[in-house]
């Protein structure tokens, strides 16, 4: 009687093991690549959302800029610091807002708002200071609500147009307000990815023109009265 042996040879086992290990390595590498790509996309989406939020916040404050009849009661300062690669801007002005800095405290509707880039070795953040007491600077040191409105900001650059040329600074002693304001924000996602840029333009000449028309109408009414 003869018996037939069943099973795999050593060569077959080695070949099957090698193929299985190769498939496992490919699957792990593919899964890692998909996970990394998803993290990059999520980081980019989050960064873009922060930039849009910062852009809308700055635009709202600029559009609602406080422009009283007495020019001595207004304030607008734009300063640029040369950091080597780009200008880091600082901007402070009065704005009209219905959002209170302190929910349970009595406040008016005129606020001082300040924007600047706070950067160190670990991170860079776009800051917004919202102060409800702008007219008592000599009596009370400026304070207010300080908030981070966007992280990982590489560039915060503001330009001002006076009707003839653009400049990166608007000194406090200027007797007029800029007609156009350009704000550029550049951020890098937390994960590796391409920098994201957000640019906004605010036309102050339209609102200033409407205010001048209202002043003329009030003057005509007073003269007619």
DSSP string, 25-87: HHHHHHHHHHHHHHHHHHHHHHHHHHHHHHHHHHHHHHHTB---SSGGG--EEEEEEE-SSSE
Whether residue 25 lies inside any domain: the answer is no
Residue 84: predicted pLDDT = 61
Whether residue 21 lies inside any domain: the answer is no
Q: Locate tokens 């953040």: which residue?
A: 125
Residue 182 near residue 159, CB atoms below 8 Å = yes
Residue 44: predicted pLDDT = 77
The CA angle 39-42-48, to the nearest 5 degrees, is 140
At 216, list the tokens: 């003329």
Query: For 13-43, b where at least 16 C-beta lie within 10 A, e where not — what string?
Result: eeeeeeeeeeeeeeeeeeeeeeeeeeebeeb
The range of the structural domain enclosing residue 209 comes to 44-218
Whether residue 186 lies inside any domain: the answer is yes
Whether residue 15 lies inside any domain: the answer is no
Report which secondary-structure segment, H or E, holds 182: strand 180-187
Distance of CA 189 to the CA centre of its chain: 13
Q: Where are the alpha helices (DSSP H) in the chain?
A: 10-63, 204-224
Whether residue 214 lies inside any domain: the answer is yes
Whether residue 33 lies inside any domain: the answer is no
Question: Is the pTM higher than 0.85?
Answer: no
Residue 93 near residue 111, CB atoms below 8 Å = no
Whether residue 100 lies inside any domain: the answer is yes
Whether residue 51 lies inside any domain: the answer is yes
Q: How many domains does the chain have?
A: 1
Pairing of strands 124-131, 110-119: antiparallel
From first to last of its 225 residues, what are the pLDDT tens digits of the chain?
555 556 667 777 777 778 877 787 777 777 666 665 666 667 778 888 889 999 999 999 999 998 887 777 788 999 998 766 666 899 999 999 888 777 777 788 889 999 999 887 778 899 999 988 766 555 556 667 889 999 888 899 999 999 999 999 999 888 889 999 999 999 887 766 688 899 999 998 865 544 444 444 444 444 444
């Amino acid at each position: 009687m003869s018996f037939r042996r069943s099973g795999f040879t050593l060569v077959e086992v080695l070949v099957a093991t090698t193929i299985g290990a190769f498939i496992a390595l490919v699957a792990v590498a593919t899964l890692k690549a998909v996970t990394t790509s998803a993290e990059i996309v999520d980081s980019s989406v989050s960064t873009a959302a922060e930039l849009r939020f910062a852009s809308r916040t700055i635009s709202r404050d600029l559009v609602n800029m406080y422009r009283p009849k007495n020019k001595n009661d207004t304030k607008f300062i734009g300063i640029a610091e040369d950091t080597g690669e780009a200008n880091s801007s600082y901007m402070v002005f009065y704005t009209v807002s219905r959002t209170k800095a302190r929910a349970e405290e009595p406040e008016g509707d005129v606020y001082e708002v300040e924007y600047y880039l706070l950067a160190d070795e670990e991170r860079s953040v776009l800051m917004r200071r919202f102060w409800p007491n702008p007219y008592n600077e000599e009596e009370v040191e400026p304070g207010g609500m300080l908030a981070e409105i966007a992280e990982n900001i590489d560039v915060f650059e503001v330009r001002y147009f006076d009707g003839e040329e653009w400049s990166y600074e608007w000194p406090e002693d200027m007797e007029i307000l800029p007609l156009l304001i350009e704000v550029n924000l550049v951020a890098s996602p937390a994960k590796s990815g391409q920098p994201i840029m957000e640019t906004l333009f605010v036309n102050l000449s339209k609102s200033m023109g409407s205010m001048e028309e209202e002043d003329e109408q009030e003057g005509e009414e007073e003269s007619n009265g």
